[in-house]
Structure 1
């Protein structure tokens, strides 16, 4: 009987010793109580606790946690908006007061998650209720900042901190989605038409500029050609005048009448008209008076040229 009692005592002592040590996993913090009252915090590793009296009340994860949210909100113009979001949160820090809040603020994890999700949804619904349907899609960042601003203090009181809130999807009722798609399509068509009009205007403007430049170039070429033709005619006349002057001087030196050379030039001119003219008829004044008149004119031109010299 004594031996059996000894065995019982040994086993009891071994159980007491074993229950005096507890292991806390990495990324976790233990909270202990003594007779149901908070006692202390146990950090990762092997920890000693008072056997039979000190108990592990809760093991709290200090790692980041995530949860997906799906809920509905209504805009100020009565449009239904459907949100899909991802919430990332964690324990605020490892201070004793923070850990106590995490351990004792809520009855269990399910109650905490329900309060967290409803708080986030309520904050977003309140924000969306002040906006119009057309504004919501462009307010992802504003919604996130609003939620953080509204619930950060509340979460801190609970011992948590909101790390990130991502709006993964924002949709509307099917009718609204179709109308929005039509608006986008019509805006795209309008932009395409405006771009096409601008391109056509640029093309026509460039073509008009090219035509104008071509006309300017042609006009300048014609001006230069006319100038060169005028210079050619002037040089021709100058050479003719020089030839006539030289011929007249030679005839004067030979005591010949200069009217003979003028008559010769007149006949050569008639011959040239006949050979090169496109017409079929040349009208000449063949009377002696007409011929005499022409000769006097030619002699007058000759005297005028001699006076200039």
Structure 2
């Protein structure tokens, strides 16, 4: 019996010693910290690694995470300066820098940070209207971070960043904003369409202008070339006439050949026959009845006779045509014989 009691006592002491040793050794993970109280008073903070404490005297509190933490709060209703209620969802990034202050300066630093964020957000957004709130997220974030970092410094907490995830205005405001955006898009589309049409019309007008200029240039060049051609032809005829030295009889003959063409026009209901027509006819008849003087071009007798016969035939035809023209003019009561060649120049057609 005594051996069994001693054995049991030895086992109890061994278990107690093992338990005491285990309580004396504490291992703290990396980026963690644990506060130690000795006899109810803060003693020290255990650092990451192997640490020893006094069993039954030192009390070790749960580990505090020293890494940066992310907390997403529930959307909070906030009233803007223009009395509109918006739902704002925020995200907070913070880190515990002093485990002792985080444990003893505030009861629940996480809840305290959440409430402080809500109140600060309402103060900041309450001084802005809806439009400024929607477009000034960076300003709101920086103001929130400054206020929270200053207030949480004594709690051993550093606020690294505050982000606004979403700002939800009321449904009526969303509908109005959507209509406004649609109107803006339609306006920009109309402006772009008008600009495109304006540019197209400008380009078309420029093209028409250039085409008209080119056509005018082409017409001018054509008219110039045509005039030059006519001038050259007239000059050639003039040179040929003066080179061959025609006599008045030949000119009278040419006049009689041209005279029938004056009556061919549809609008020629009135034309003038000069008084020299009779003289021209007598001169022609006299020219073909008299012997022509010899010239270098008419020395051949055979050729001269053929030319005389052809000239006589042409003169006869010209005389017949002139007689027909005179008869037609007499029927139309439009024949006005002129006393001299000088008076015929004032009429519609001039004689040679």
**Could you say which TM-score interval applies, normalised by the shorter chain?**
0.7 to 0.9
Residues 1:89 and 2:59 aligned together: no
Residues 1:31 and 2:10 aligned together: no
Matches within 5 A, 1:68-147: 68-69=72-73, 70-92=75-97, 98-107=98-107, 111-147=108-144
- Per-residue CA deviations over 1:35-88 (Å, capped at 9, x if unaligned) read 121222222232222222222123100122222121011111101111112222
Query: Deviation at 1:132?
Result: 1.2
Matches within 5 A, 1:235-246: 235-246=232-243
User: In 2, Cα distance between the equivalents of 1:268 and 1:73?
Assistant: 113
User: In 2, Cα distance between the equivalents of 1:290 and 1:7?
Assistant: 176
Matches within 5 A, 1:208-219: 208-219=205-216
Q: Which 10-residue stretch deviates more, 230-239 or 282-291?
A: 282-291
Matches within 5 A, 1:119-198: 119-198=116-195
- Per-residue CA deviations over 1:188-218 (Å, capped at 9, x if unaligned) read 2222222222222212222222222221111
TM superposition score normalised by structure 1: 0.80
TM superposition score normalised by structure 2: 0.71
Alpha-carbon contact 2:34-2:99 (below 8 Å) kept: no
Cα distance, 1:161–1:240 mapped onto 2, change above 3 Å: same
User: In 1, Cα distance between the equivalents of 2:193 and 2:223?
Assistant: 44
Alpha-carbon contact 1:32-1:58 (below 8 Å) kept: no
Structure 1: gaps (5+ residues): 93-97, 252-257, 298-309
Cα distance, 1:287–1:166 mapped onto 2, change above 3 Å: same
Query: Deviation at 1:264?
Result: 4.8
- Map of 1:224 onto structure 2: 221
Query: Deviation at 1:26?
Result: 2.7
SS at match of 2:61: strand
User: In 1, Cα distance between the equivalents of 2:180 and 2:141?
Assistant: 27
- Map of 2:251 onto structure 1: 262
The CA RMSD over aligned residues, in Å, is 2.6
User: In 1, Cα distance between the equivalents of 2:256 and 2:142?
Assistant: 109
Q: Which has the larger radius of gyration?
A: 2
Query: Deviation at 1:291?
Result: 7.1
Structure 2: gaps (5+ residues): 281-340, 346-352
Cα distance, 1:288–1:129 mapped onto 2, change above 3 Å: same
SS at match of 2:63: strand
User: In 2, Cα distance between the equivalents of 1:230 and 1:135?
Assistant: 78
SS at match of 2:128: coil
Cα distance, 1:279–1:247 mapped onto 2, change above 3 Å: farther
- Map of 1:247 onto structure 2: 244
Q: Which 10-residue stretch deviates more, 72-81 or 149-158?
A: 149-158
Alpha-carbon contact 1:81-1:171 (below 8 Å) kept: yes
Query: Deviation at 1:134?
Result: 2.1
- Map of 2:22 onto structure 1: 18
Query: Deviation at 1:5?
Result: 2.9
SS at match of 1:58: coil
SS at match of 2:89: strand
- Per-residue CA deviations over 1:138-182 (Å, capped at 9, x if unaligned) read 111111111112111122221122233222211111112111212
Alpha-carbon contact 2:102-2:109 (below 8 Å) kept: no
User: In 1, Cα distance between the equivalents of 2:62 and 2:43?
Assistant: 12
User: In 1, Cα distance between the equivalents of 2:209 and 2:252?
Assistant: 52
